[in-house]
A = this chain, B = another copy of it.
């Protein structure tokens, strides 16, 4: 351990001592700055006492080793020093080094930077080499080395320093403010030490347990390694590079004609069919590995690419290819003024990041949607499907022509990379997680990129007193049982209070029980019918279970849904048109149904074609989302030289024009 702080501690003490020893007359005189060496001498003992105390708390002994620059000129000293440190380490004693400022021949500590070492960073570097350290950690007040001043949003932390690549960048940043916290000195020491064979990590001393994290291999701070430039491709740059490449390719894709984009899709479909054997054998390997690893049956089923699946995927890609082109459509056309025509056109969002679990066929669907909509795509699949995803990715990108570039679709393979990608809110435009609620929540919590998805699906069915009870039974059973793990399955059954203890309602409850549904009760249902109490109304079972509660009327059903629901899909069953309309107009959820199962809340069933996902967010897209969720717009204005000039020169007409 190399420590700083002796001069600071000493200066504090000496100031006090000086004050105490001064007469009032002394204090009238101009005060001379305290001698740095005296401060170091006084401070060193206090500093060591502090370390001793702190290490003693951990039942560790510490030792003091004060060295000067000139000591290192003596090769015998170097040998002896190594021996001394070895002995201390054998005894499990922590050696604490500092420059012996008080007796060094330097004029003043911290000012003279000549010699073999000149500050604690260079001393640390020197000692790392002398003592053949396995790793040198330099603690700073910032998280590591940044490409520019750390306070600027455009500055990015450099996780692996590569001289050829970062030297210019950093020199530039240095001139502005990277120097803060002595980063220049640290980088200099780190480059020297790493070039001589000791890897170095610069990280924050303020981050909780940063030393332990570095030792555990966490990607924090900046790593210096003499072979870093040979690592290929350096992982910490690849996330950003992947995203930027996908954006560049997507711009070229967008510039193709609609026919050319269509052709790519048809080529992808052909390539999938041509490589069916290869794809299925890779998939079989994944399936076998999953079975060996004891994965649950449903997961293995989702993982499996069944016979005929490739053909059906190819068929749906061809359907997509023949769809109307979703991009470069004119959505709105306005004559702003004479010969000044404004168009609002559809265009791709840019770069999408899709995180999906198991199902390798999702990769194919998403990739073809991205191609159709002109978007770049980064894909992260589950590790259980790695071989299937890799081959599918290879086959698909192989069909992308070079005038677009195969980097249009990137496959992300490690968890590390996904964390890096989620930070790239300047390059990635939308994240679409397709998987468990947990996955969606985790991603939402860890990124500033907009996320299209639904964390919760707490769907309600409300049976009004006027309901056709046969229909109610049919819908309730379907909403709960058709696919209990789906987000659009019923979680809470609300029932008009007049239906309590009626044979029709009892019939529904018995039917649920018979099918194996566990029924929990809200306070009223618990008391009246003795169902076990539900832990919370805001609960998604995602299994063969539901909550039941009684409400006074449609208004209290609506209030209940607003209070405890997740604004996904809610349904009323009633024959009373007025009550139905009240429910349909007032329930503030993405999808609101009258006399139809909540299970219809789905892109395919809604007729949206390919489904991108279901969104419970209110921004951009809501409910089941088709390809329009992957699009944004551009405004295109064509004039003949008009200027604004304080709005004096233009006569605005703002006339709506036909779209043709």
B-binding residues in A (CB < 8 A): 9, 12-13, 16, 46, 49-50, 53-54, 56-59, 153-154, 251, 255, 328, 334, 336, 340, 342, 347, 349-350, 429-430, 441, 445, 448, 450, 468, 470-471, 474-475, 477-479, 482, 538, 562, 573, 580, 584-586, 588-597, 599-601, 605-607, 618-620, 622-624, 632-647, 650, 652, 654
Whether B592 lies near A429 (C-beta < 8 A) is: no
CA distance A38 to B31 in the complex (A): 51
Please list the 10 inter-chain residue pairs (A to B) with the smallest Cβ-Cβ separation, ordered nearest first: A596-B639, A607-B654, A478-B643, A471-B641, A599-B644, A591-B635, A620-B620, A597-B643, A593-B637, A618-B632
CA distance A155 to B285 in the complex (A): 44
Given contacts A595-B638, A595-B640, 13 further A-B contacts (CB under 8 A): A328-B585, A347-B588, A350-B588, A448-B448, A588-B634, A590-B634, A591-B634, A593-B636, A594-B638, A600-B642, A605-B647, A605-B650, A623-B634
CA distance A619 to B633 in the complex (A): 9
A580 surroundings in chain B (CB, below 8 A): 638
CA distance A157 to B153 in the complex (A): 29
Whether B334 lies near A635 (C-beta < 8 A) is: no
Whether A336 lies near B13 (C-beta < 8 A) is: no
Please name 18 pairs of A and B residues whose Cβ atoms are closer than 8 Å in the assembled complex, sorted by A. Answer: A12-B59, A153-B441, A154-B538, A347-B588, A349-B619, A475-B641, A475-B643, A584-B636, A592-B637, A594-B638, A597-B642, A597-B644, A599-B644, A600-B637, A601-B635, A605-B652, A622-B635, A623-B634
Interchain nearest-CB distance for A431 vs B (Å): 11
Whether A618 lies near B350 (C-beta < 8 A) is: yes
**Which of B349, B596, B624 is in CB contact (< 8 Å) with A642?**
B596
Interchain nearest-CB distance for A465 vs B (Å): 17
Whether B635 lies near A624 (C-beta < 8 A) is: yes
A592 to B, closest residue via Cβ: B636
**Which of B56, B607, B619 is in CB contact (< 8 Å) with A334?**
B607
CA distance A263 to B634 in the complex (A): 35
A637 surroundings in chain B (CB, below 8 A): 591-594, 596, 600
Interchain nearest-CB distance for A324 vs B (Å): 12
- A contact face: mostly helix, strand, loop, or mixed: mixed
A153 surroundings in chain B (CB, below 8 A): 441, 445
Whether A595 lies near B641 (C-beta < 8 A) is: yes
A582 to B, closest residue via Cβ: B255
A644 to B, closest residue via Cβ: B599
A645 surroundings in chain B (CB, below 8 A): 478, 482
A634 surroundings in chain B (CB, below 8 A): 588-592, 622-623
CA distance A54 to B9 in the complex (A): 11
Knowing A9-B57, A599-B643, A644-B482, say if A635 contacts B623 (CB, 8 Å): yes
**Which of B54, B328, B633 is in CB contact (< 8 Å) with A622?**
B633
A328 surroundings in chain B (CB, below 8 A): 585
A585 surroundings in chain B (CB, below 8 A): 255, 328
A637 to B, closest residue via Cβ: B593
Interchain nearest-CB distance for A254 vs B (Å): 8
Whether B478 lies near A644 (C-beta < 8 A) is: yes
A640 surroundings in chain B (CB, below 8 A): 471, 595
Residue of A342, A482, A635, A644 ringed by the most chain B CB atoms within 10 A: A644
A255 surroundings in chain B (CB, below 8 A): 585-586
Residue of A350, A599, A639, A652 ringed by the most chain B CB atoms within 10 A: A639
**Which of B49, B470, B600, B642 is in CB contact (< 8 Å) with A336?**
B600
A623 surroundings in chain B (CB, below 8 A): 633-635
Residue of A334, A471, A632 ringed by the most chain B CB atoms within 10 A: A632
Interchain nearest-CB distance for A577 vs B (Å): 10
A631 to B, closest residue via Cβ: B618
Interchain nearest-CB distance for A312 vs B (Å): 15
A482 surroundings in chain B (CB, below 8 A): 643-646
A650 surroundings in chain B (CB, below 8 A): 605
A349 surroundings in chain B (CB, below 8 A): 618-619
A334 to B, closest residue via Cβ: B607
CA distance A59 to B20 in the complex (A): 12
Whether A57 lies near B53 (C-beta < 8 A) is: no
CA distance A255 to B558 in the complex (A): 13
A336 surroundings in chain B (CB, below 8 A): 600, 605-607
Whether A620 lies near B619 (C-beta < 8 A) is: yes
**Which of B562, B601, B607 is in CB contact (< 8 Å) with A251?**
B562
Whether A50 lies near B59 (C-beta < 8 A) is: no
A622 surroundings in chain B (CB, below 8 A): 632-635
A589 surroundings in chain B (CB, below 8 A): 634
CA distance A588 to B638 in the complex (A): 16
A605 surroundings in chain B (CB, below 8 A): 336, 644, 647, 650, 652
A586 surroundings in chain B (CB, below 8 A): 251, 255
Whether B430 lies near A619 (C-beta < 8 A) is: yes
A602 to B, closest residue via Cβ: B644
A606 surroundings in chain B (CB, below 8 A): 334, 336, 342, 635
Whether B50 lies near A46 (C-beta < 8 A) is: no
CA distance A633 to B643 in the complex (A): 37
A647 to B, closest residue via Cβ: B605
Interchain nearest-CB distance for A468 vs B (Å): 7
Whether A641 lies near B430 (C-beta < 8 A) is: no
Residue of A16, A594, A600 ringed by the most chain B CB atoms within 10 A: A600
